[in-house]
Structure 1
Amino acid sequence: MKKAMIFGLLACVSALSLGACGQQQPAAPPAPSVGTVTLTTESAELTNELPGRIAALETADVRPQITGVIRRRLFTEGSNVQAGQLLYEIEDAPYRAAVAQAKGSLATANATINSTALQAQRYKDLIAINAVSKQQYDDAAAAAQQARANVAAQQGALQAAQVNQNFTRIRAPISGRIGRSLFTPGALVSAAQTDALATIQRTDTVYVDVTQSAAQIIDLKQAMASGGVSEADGARIQLILPNGSVYPIEGRLQFADVTVDPNSGSVILRATFPNPNGLLLPGMYVRAKLVEGLRRNVILAPQQGVIRDPRGRATAMVVGKDNKVEVRQIEVDRAVGDKWIVTKGLNIGDRLIVEGLVNLRPGTVVKPGMPQQITVANGTGATGGAK
C-alpha cells in the first residue's frame, strides 16, 4: 500500500516537471520609440516683449484767448480738420466797438501831431530873431514829440484791439482729428479757464512709449560689448494689439530716455508707427515686441524637450551611447519662438528627445527616430534625427 502511494507521488512530481518544462519564458518588451532632434548651432534673434501705450504724434488743445460767448461751432466732432480751419466764433460786437474806438483815438492823435509840429517849427524860426523865448520853443518842441509818441501809442492800441477781434474766430492750431466739443454755442468762455474747448490729435503716425527695465538694457549692452550679441539691423518693433492680433506694420525705435525712473527702475523707449487706417488710438495699451540683437552660434533646444524637475531646474533627456537614455541638467537663457537658448548642459550633436518622454528612465534603451511633428518658429528651428 505504501509503495503504491510513493509511486503515485513520484508520478505526479514527474508530470508537474514535464508540464513546467513545456512552458516558454515571456519575451522581453520592445524598446520604446522616441522622437529626437540633433542639436546644432544657429543664430537667434533676441526679442523682448514690453508693455506700452499709444500717444499721438502731435496734440493741441483748442482754447479761447479772450472772454466772450460762443456764437457758432463750425466743425463736426470726430472729423479731420486742417491747420487754420475755423472752429468757433465768439460774439465780436464788443471787440468791433473797441477797434472803432482805437481808430478814433488814433485819428485824434494824428490831428494833434500836425498842430504841435507846425507850432514847434514856427517857434524855431522865431527864436533865431529872438521873437520868442528859448523856454517857449522848448515847450513847443516837447509838445510835438509828445504828440508823436501818442500817435505810436494809439497805433499799438489799435493793433491790440484788432488782435482781440481776430481772437473771436478760433482756428485749428494743427491738422488732425478733433474730438468732442466740451462747450456749446451760448457758453461763456475766457482765456483763464482750465478746460479746453476741444482737443486735436495727429494720428496718421503715432508714438508708442514702452518701458524696459534698466537691468535688461545693461545686460544687452554688456552682451554686445563682449561680442556675444551683435546689434540688430535697425531697431524693429512689432505691436501686439489688445485683442491679441499682430499689427501688420513694423515700427522703428526713435530713442531711449536718458534717465531711469527712480520708482520703477525702468527706462522709456519711444517708437513710431505708421497709422494709415487709424487703428491705433491714443491711450491704447499694447505689447511691443522689440528686436534687440542677434546672437550667433547658440544651441536652440525645442521647448517640448525641456522639462522641469520638482525643484524647478531645467532638465533634458538625450539618447546616449548604445541608445540609452541620459538625463542632463541644463541652463537656459530665454525663449526664441518655440525653442530655448541653452547655455549649459547640452552640446552640438546631442540627440535630444522631444517625443515619447512619458515613463522614460535613465538607462532605458530606446529606439530613436524622427519626431512626428516639430513646430519651427521664425525659420530658426534646429532639425535632425537619429544617427
Structure 2
Amino acid sequence: MSDLGSDTMRAVMWEGKVREVAVRTVPKPKLRAANDAIVRVTSAGICGSDLHTYRGYFGSANPPWQIGHEAVGIVVEIGGAVTTRKVGDRVIVSFDPDNGHVELKPPTLEDTDIYGFGPDFGDLGGCQAEYIRVPEADGTLIPIPYYPSHEYDYLCAADIFGTGWLALDLADFQPGDSVAIFGAGPVGLQCAHSAFLRGASKVYVVDHNQTRLDKAKSIGAIPINFAHSDPTVQIMKLEPDGVNRSCDCVGQECLNIDLKPQQNTVIRWATRVTAAGGGIGVIGLYLAQPSAPGRPLGSDIAPTIEFPMTEFWSKLLSIKSGFVQPLELAPKLLALIMSGRARPGFVVSSVIGIEEAAEAYRAFDEGKETKVVIKFPWQDEVEGAANGLREL
C-alpha cells in the first residue's frame, strides 16, 4: 500500500487478457478541475458487471484501464469550486458521476461516464484503487456517517442495492406482489432484499448455485435451483397463475438448464412464469459490442435474441429495462440503512486486500464467492479523530 505522500498507488487493472486482472503501481490521480475531489478509498466492491469485462465481453476498445465502479472512502482533497463537501467527509462515490447539467432526456449507457470501464466510458479511472478522482464532487459524492460496522451496507448503495431496487420498479412492483427473481448473484440478492423491504408476498429466487440460493433462503426467499429441473415448472407448481412480477438480474450471459450459454433463457423463463397483466423488469446487462483488444470476446454476444412474442402479447405483459442512477435512489436507500431496516451488506462473502484481487476475481468468476470487498488498511481511527469524525 502506498503512503499518503506518494505520487503512486496500487490499482486493479484490466489489460485485455481474458479472465485475468493484475494489480499495478500507477500514478495517483490529481485534481483536474475546480469542482473535482480526490477520495481515499476505504472499501471497494467487485461487481458482477466487472465480470463482463473480466470474461472479455464488455468495456472500452483499447486496454489497459483501472477497473471497478463501487467505492466508499474519505475526501482528502477538494478543488476551489467544491462547496458542499469537505476534506474528512465520509462518502459513497456514485459510479455514474453527476455531469453538472440538467438532463432533458434519459441517458443511454453509451452516453454515460462510468468508473471502471475504460476511456470510452469517460476515462474516470477505476474504483478498485487506493485513490480516485471525482468530477462534479458536490453532486457526485454521497455523504454518509462514520459507521465502520455498516461500511459494507453503504458500499452496496454505490450500485447493487439500487440496481436490485430498480429491477422491481422496472417490473412495476406493488406491495403484496409475488416476485420471481432470476439470478442469485449480488444484484439478484439485493432485489430479493428490496422486495421484502417493499412488502412482497412471496419471493422466488432462481439460480443453479446452491450456496447463493442458500443465502437467498436465509432472508426468506424461496430458492429454485434450475440445475435440478425446469424452474418455470417448479414455480408454476407453487403459483399456478404465475407471479405478478419477474426480474432479470442476470443479463446476456445467462445459462439454460444444461448450464450452457443461451442469451434468451431468462427472458423466456420470465415470460412463462409472469401472470397475465404482470410486469418484467430487465436490469441485467444486454449490450453487445464488437470484439476489440479491450473486449476480445465481444462479438460472441449477439445483438439480437429470439423472443416469445406470442406468449408475451397474449398475456398482456409489460417489460422495461434500464440501469440505476445511484444519485436518484440514494436518499431513500440511505434512510433505510440508517434506520436499520436495510442491511444490504449481508451479501458480502469475503473481504480481501488489494494484492489478493486476481485470486478473488477467479473465485467470483467460478461462483465460489457472492460478493467480494477490497478493504484498504488505512488508519481510520487515528485519522478520523484528527478530522473530528466520530462513530455513530
Q: TM-score category by the smaller chain?
A: under 0.3
- Looking at both structures, which has the greater relative contact order when contacts are Cα pairs under 8 Å and sequence separation is at least 6? 1
| TM-score w.r.t. length of structure 2 | 0.18
Q: Highest CA radius of gyration, 1 or 2?
A: 1
| TM-score w.r.t. length of structure 1 | 0.18
